[in-house]
Structure 1
Amino acid sequence: MKIRLIIASALWLFAVTAFIAPQMLAAQDIPRGWKTEWKKTDFTKRSVDLSEIFSGGPPKDGIPSIDRPTFEAIKEADWLTDRSPVISLEVAGEARAYPLAILTRHEIVNDRMGDMPIAVTFCPLCNAAIVFERQYNGRELEFGTTGKLRNSDLVMYDRQTESWWQQFTGTAIVGRLTGAELERLPSRLESFARFKERFPHGKVLKRPYSRTGLYGANPYEGYDSLARPFLYDGSLPKEIPAMARVVSVGERAWTLDLLRRETRIETVDGLILEWVPGQASALDAHEIDRSRDVGNVSVQRKTADGLVDVVHGVDFAFAFHAFYPDARIIHDIEAP
């Protein structure tokens, strides 16, 4: 109960900040506190109006990234259930699962698979689970949380230049690296049961703190049942509820409700979208594993060598609309 009261108070503060921060920024351009906290950030270089960025409450690294992740075998991860949501990734024959029970509290994992440095990220407010290759122009980057939001989405920063990066797009929006874009890697947001079935010898991210009881409790209880998001005052998609999930590939999107009804959608350019039940929402009930079933999504493309996974998202409709306002969200099977 105490944790939920703290979260509720924080969300109230976030909501207030969301509406007053743009006016504050317009008045003073770069807030004095930002310059003090971000001494290495070059605010003269930016691709967005700073009034679009506001404090989410926590300070720089107030939501701590996991920078030295450790892993355990599937059989040792007995704190997870078959319905537990995980971000799954396979690189060069090695498979790993990153439970959202951990990511909701850390948001970024700086990891390495083989020779590839990766960043596994999750923005709970957008339900955006994205894996990046954390390297740009031959330089390895390490990411942390700024404590800032734009379009209710996590703004990350790299510790090398302290440039700010939009998690939803993987693009640097403030600082020396403004305009740079990270490469996204194909991953899935799926149940632990599905991960175990696909990768019986896979590894699972271990809980980093001794207070393991924190992991599995949802700090955003009831969030994905709201009529609209807490921390967003932009335009909303038409005909689609703001908090409905959509399956996106680039600037194309289909509602999860449509895919759930059809179970399989095949496009003329060879995409195959499929849905099966069995995954709990990470943003519904207080105990994640007791949350409602949102199911498992896979997106693959037909190739000469068979089906291959495609980079995609399973995000809230308002977030997709915020970053791709001119894109259509397909919600009926007759749509092209």
Structure 2
Amino acid sequence: MSAIRLLAGLAPALVAVFALAAAALAAPDRWRAEWPRTNFSRASVPFAEILSGGPPKDGIPALDGARMIPVGSERRLDDREPVMVLELGEAKPRAWPIRYLTWHEIVNDEVAGVPVAVTFCPLCNAGMIFDRRLGGQTLSFGVSGKLRHSDLIMYDRQTESWWQQALGEAIVGKLTGRKLTQLPGWMESWGAFRARNPDGLVMDEPDWPRSYGRNPYAGYDSLARPFLYNGEMPPHGIEPLSRVVRVGNRAWPLERVARAGEIAEAGVRISWSRGQASALDSGRIAKGREVGNIRVRDAVSGHDVVHDVIFAFVFHAFHPDGRWMLGN
């Protein structure tokens, strides 16, 4: 059994003890040797909520400038494998495979002259793409090795402020309180992206010694509770590791969307189609169970809308006053 499965499978009381013990070691005085440039006098969250995820700073190596290849040249990806997608302006549509983001979590890239950060937090199933420009400065991001509510904490290399991926917001350091602009990217199957964009581009395999295509979090999204999370569980009897479609401060259970095929509510149209494997189920991503493809569009204009498909506990942790769109 993996360490994640073992820890997440512990009784809730033992998980709480583990989290509290980790928090006790999380004082800024213990971080300063590794983070001498971070301004710990500025923070918007309790330091006790920030835990080590295991790897040190840059222990999970972010990538800079993905090497892109034509869609027709890609032969490694299975049609069911998930990819992060951005279709921006007149630029060729681009896809960043989750098989690579699982091992790197952040890709600093550029699309149509826009510097972007393509991010994926496996513990939250949170795939989000941000504009890296902030107040006339272009930031680049690395992986801090820290988690808050089980979610990836990124850091910018310019000020070494810490950023909560789930919010796109700086929570520690000089830039505390500043927010990145999330772009209307989404996660879908490689087969769906390829069929729609035969002239598009896809990220090539990085030159790192990693088992790309393997899922190091096998069985994670079938667990009863998330890893290194001691917060309140979702209401309404919703399983914490079930997926929800988040648009702003609203969340639609994926199961509800999949049953309906399409839902039009709150000014958006959410559609579901078969063909995407869970990246957090089988030991091989391509063999993961069916979770389907989600598209979210403005109900009037038809334009793609910023959204995420995340675990229910993530929505509740970061949007505690959010609205659950249960359809009843």
Q: Which residue of 2 aligns with 1:178?
A: 176
- Structure 2 counterpart of 1:23: 24
Give the superposition deviation at 1:40.
0.5
Asked if the contact 2:257/2:263 (under 8 Å) is kept, the reply is yes
1:311 aligns with 2:306: yes
Q: Does 1:300 align with 2:297?
A: yes
1:295-321 CA distance string (max 9 Å, x none):
000100034xx4100000100000110
Instruction: Work out whether 1:330 is the aligned partner of 2:321.
Output: no
- Aligned-partner SS, 2:59: coil
TM-score (norm 2): 0.93
1:154-165 pair list within 5 angstroms: 154-165=152-163
- How far the C-alpha of 1:31 sits from its partner, in A, is 3.3
Tell me the alpha carbon deviations over residues 193-234 of structure 1, each in whole angstroms, 9 at most, x when there is no partner. 11112211111111112646x111000000000011121010
CA–CA separation in structure 2 for the residues paired with 1:163 and 1:210 = 27
1:56 partner amino acid? G
| Post-superposition CA distance 1:243-268 (Å, at most 9, x none) | 0100010100110000011111101x
Match of 1:261 in 2: 259
Q: What's the counterpart of residue 215 of structure 1? A: 212
| Structure 1: segments with no counterpart, 5+ residues | none
Give the Cα–Cα distance (whole angstroms) in 1 for the partners of residues 239 and 279 of structure 2: 19
Aligned residues of 1:17 and 1:54 also touching (Cα < 8 A): no
Letter in 2 for 1:224: D
Q: Distance in 2 between matches of 1:5 and 1:152?
A: 17
CA shift for structure 1 position 115: 1.5
Following the alignment from structure 1 to structure 2, what is the Cα–Cα distance between the partners of residues 180 and 240?
32
Measured at CA, do residues 205 and 17 of structure 1 come closer, stay the same or move farther in structure 2, by a change above 3 Å? farther
Partner residue, 2:189: 191
SS in 2 for 1:307: coil
Say whether residues 1:84 and 2:81 are aligned partners. yes
**Alpha-carbon offset, residue 7 of structure 1:** 6.8
Equivalent residues, number: 321
Q: What is the match of residue 288 of structure 2?
A: 291
Whether 1:252 and 2:250 are equivalent positions in the alignment is yes
- Identical positions, percent: 49
Q: CA 1:146 to 1:211, structure 2 compared with 1: closer, same or farther past 3 Å?
A: closer
> Which deviates the most, 190-199 or 177-186?
190-199
* Aligned-partner Cα distance in 2 for 1:24–1:282: 32
Equivalent residue, structure 1, for 2:12: none
Comparing 136-145 and 193-202, the one that deviates more = 193-202
Q: Does 1:321 pair with 2:316? A: yes
TM-score, length basis structure 1: 0.91
Does the CA-based 8 Å contact 2:264-2:299 persist in structure 1?
A: no
1:59 to 53, 56, 61: 56
Among candidates 39, 43, 48, match of residue 42 of structure 1? 39
Q: Which amino acid aligns with 2:50?
A: I
| Aligned partner letter, 1:20 | A
